[in-house]
Amino acid sequence: MVSPPFTNPNESQELLDYVFKRVQNPKDPLKLLIVGRAGSGKSTFIKKLFERIEGVIEALNLASRNTAADETGGQTVFKKFHIDFRNIRQVLETACTHYPKIGLVVLDEISLFYPALVDVLDKLLGKINKAVGKMFGDVHIIMVGDILQLPAPNNALMYKWKGFLGFQIRMLSTNFRQASDVDFGQRLDRWAVGSVAKDDMKFIQDRCVAKDPRTIYEEVGEFYKTQEWDPVESLILTSSRKDAIKFNRAVLNARGIQEVFETDAILHKTEPNDPKLPVTYKPVENPITLVIGVGAQLLFTQDTFEQTNQHKFKRGTVGEVLSFEFDEDQICTITIEIEGYGAMTFDRILTKAHIIKGGTECMAIFNFRSGIATTFNQAQGRTLKNVMIDTSNGYLYPAQFYCGASRVRASNALHFTYLPERDMSSLESVINPDPGAINELQRWKDYWRRVELPSDVPNTDEEDEKKKKKGSQSNTE
């Protein structure tokens, strides 16, 4: 088992000094993997690194998801390089004409990447730096993340990527996020590796909102309304989009919003050449559903202009729905009250238009998402004010519990919907870590070249393990 980390308050600054020195030597490319539990200062490290290297080296800060990119001021790899697996050859052929010589690339939330994407980036950087065949074009590469959290949704596990064999590793040792709640931090350390204690049952039961399995949604809706939670920074986290929709509806109903509609944020729109024929909409794969009613709040997921193109609203802006209009059976226009601006109207953004037989097809997009409830992977990489984990099914998928629970700073900000079973076996099914990630992390710990820092002190757990191994070897002899 991977033991909880020890604390080294000088670690962050010393690691920053080490990296800053290394990246100034282009002849010795740094290949570094920085892993750390949720709240260990990974995002802060990236921000400070980019502040320090500004003007020293050309660098890219990339993530695979918008939420992670927002935390560190980066961009998604897809947005920066316009990577789509249908246009990879074109990307590789044209990349070197669009970007200056890159010296450093940082990949944040590495567990949410997947091997095929990283391999494409490897080739792309080789093309840009005219070093085809060299790992990442011989640029400095730093990957940062927590492999004990969720993997990419396609289940292509990044920790199985063969390229890691050429990397050094630094396992961060300090918990900043939960520093004010030591007991909670220690629980998270245990839960990350699947260690469940008897008092964890009481810990979770005491924080369950619903008391009756028949009225879970109603009780959660009333609780959310009573707490007056911020719908952006306080989230209900669920295993499925369907459950997230149900909880969004329940909270809106509890707030007195009874007429609620669902519409996909992204749709395929087909407009026939014949004006007598109707416009049609089709869902995309893995749709994002908006739950909308008058009075519901929506969060901007991209910088977006309103209908007249006079005002642009930044990603993260929150507005309250005033009205909406339908085209066929889909919402096509939404009017939102935005503080300081009043009522602003937004049409679906039409992109990627192309001619098809009998008409034109495009993507019709709202750059919004519902607040209140979402899936676990949409929250990864964020620090939230409050989290409620939906445990009402009696189990969670690997790493979901740890990923959700570690979003908050203290245990009083963590809640659960309902726990149907009250035995240790059921609790283990809820906490449920990823055993493959645990084993791989232990292997890295045992065999990889680790970056040592001046103020490192021995981890007593590790020393005890070494003594046990030596003792067992002596007894065998």
Mean pLDDT of 408-429: 94
Contact 40, 174 (CB under 8 A): yes
Residue 73 pLDDT greater than 60, yes or no: no
- Give the Cα separation of 395 and 121 in Å (integer): 36
Mean pLDDT of 316-331: 93
In the block, which residue shows the tokens 């026939």? 272
CB atoms inside a 10 Å sphere around CB 123: 17
How sure is the predictor about 468, in pLDDT bands with cuts at 50, 70 and 90? low
Instruction: Count CA atoms within 13 Å of residue 182 on its CB side.
Output: 2
Highest mean pLDDT among 87-91, 154-158, 426-430: 426-430
53-62, 75-84, 429-438: lowest mean pLDDT where? 75-84
How sure is the predictor about 2, in pLDDT bands with cuts at 50, 70 and 90? very low
Q: What is the pLDDT of residue 80?
A: 46
Strands across the sheet with 330-338, in order? 342-347, 330-338, 318-327, 297-300, 368-370
Residue 389 pLDDT greater than 60, yes or no: yes
Q: What is the pLDDT of residue 457?
A: 66
CATH 3.40.50.300 range(s) for the chain read: 11-178+435-476
In the block, which residue shows the tokens 């009083």? 412
Mean pLDDT of 344-364: 93
Burial 411-436 (b: 16+ CB within 10 A, else e): bebbbbbbbeeeeeeebebbbbbbee
Q: What is the pLDDT of residue 460?
A: 43
Q: What is the pLDDT of residue 117?
A: 83
Contact 279, 270 (CB under 8 A): yes
Residue 341 pLDDT greater than 90, yes or no: yes
Q: Of 78, 100, 151, 135, which is closest to residue 402 (Cα–Cα)?
A: 151
- Give the Cα separation of 404 and 407 in Å (integer): 6
If one compares 137 and 19, the residue with the highest pLDDT of the two is 19
Mean pLDDT of 40-62: 87
Q: Please, where are the H alpha helices in 230-382?
A: 241-254, 376-379
For residue 141, what are its two tokens? 């590469």
| Backbone phi and psi for residue 46, each to the nearest 5 degrees, phi listed first | -65, -45
- CATH code reported for the domain at 11-178+435-476: 3.40.50.300
DSSP tag of 160: G
CB atoms inside a 10 Å sphere around CB 228: 7
How sure is the predictor about 116, in pLDDT bands with cuts at 50, 70 and 90? confident
- Give the Cα separation of 425 and 415 in Å (integer): 20
How sure is the predictor about 7, in pLDDT bands with cuts at 50, 70 and 90? low
Dihedral sign from CA coordinates of 295, 334, 379, 258: positive
Residue 88 pLDDT greater than 80, yes or no: no
- For every residue of 433-451, DSSP letters joined together read --HHHHHHHHHHHHHSPBP
Residue 97 pLDDT greater than 80, yes or no: no
How sure is the predictor about 212, in pLDDT bands with cuts at 50, 70 and 90? very high
Q: What is the pLDDT of residue 100?
A: 60
Q: What is the pLDDT of residue 9?
A: 77
If one compares 29 and 455, the residue with the highest pLDDT of the two is 29
| Backbone phi and psi for residue 341, each to the nearest 5 degrees, phi listed first | -125, -25
Percent with pLDDT over 90 in the chain: 56
Contact 2, 445 (CB under 8 A): yes
Q: Of 349, 328, 241, 350, which is closest to residue 281 (Cα–Cα)?
A: 328
Mean pLDDT of 285-302: 91
Instruction: Count CA atoms within 13 Å of residue 82 on its CB side.
Output: 10
| Backbone phi and psi for residue 436, each to the nearest 5 degrees, phi listed first | -65, -40
Mean pLDDT (the chain) is 86
Q: What is the pLDDT of residue 90?
A: 57
Instruction: Count CA atoms within 13 Å of residue 233 on its CB side.
Output: 11
Burial of 186 (0-12, 13-18, 19+ CB in 10 A): middle
DSSP tag of 94: H
Mean pLDDT of 66-81: 48
- Give the Cα separation of 188 and 166 in Å (integer): 30
Paired with 160 in beta bridges are: none
Contacts of 176 by beta carbon, 8 Å cutoff, 6+ apart: 39, 40, 41, 44
Residue 85 pLDDT greater than 50, yes or no: no
- Give the Cα separation of 157 and 115 in Å (integer): 7
Q: What is the pLDDT of residue 216?
A: 98
Q: What is the pLDDT of residue 99?
A: 60
DSSP tag of 317: -
Contact 444, 436 (CB under 8 A): no
